[in-house]
Structure 1
Amino acid sequence: MKPDDLERLVTLEMPFGKYKGRVIADLPGNYLTWFAREGFPAGEIGRLLALMHEIDHNGLKALLNPLRKRP
């Protein structure tokens, strides 16, 4: 994990698929689990999806709240 990965989770949008345009941190757990079962894509997006899956699976999503931009 790189130091800025957690911030990327709350700012980077999903570039494809059913949830295209949704911030990675807001992807549903069952979608992340599907990737874990079927295989994460190559590159940065796959690495971040795998990280988000671990965070979601371990019930740690609240750790990302302070990183979210405020309106």
Structure 2
Amino acid sequence: MTRVVVDVVMKPEILDPQGQAILGALGRLGIEGVNSVRQGKHFELDVDDNLDDETLTRLADTLLANPVIEDFTIRR
């Protein structure tokens, strides 16, 4: 078994209202120095060792992320 992590975030050109809300809350909490917040999704998958990168990419691109508005990274 191999642990695979897929992180999905909104593309930079897409407005992230939740990230903006978090950024505003930081200011209200008196936390300074954070200039931008982007929120996303984090998936952890336990997969067979022989599952290839092409299949993982297809899984992320069709099921875990919306490729029109989101980017993703895959780490083994």
State the TM bucket, normalised to the shorter chain: under 0.3
More helix by share: 1
- TM-score w.r.t. the length of structure 1 is 0.25
Higher-Rg member (1/2): 2
Q: TM-score, normalised by structure 2?
A: 0.24
Higher relative contact order (CA 8 A, sep 6+): 2
The structure with the largest strand share of the pair is: 2
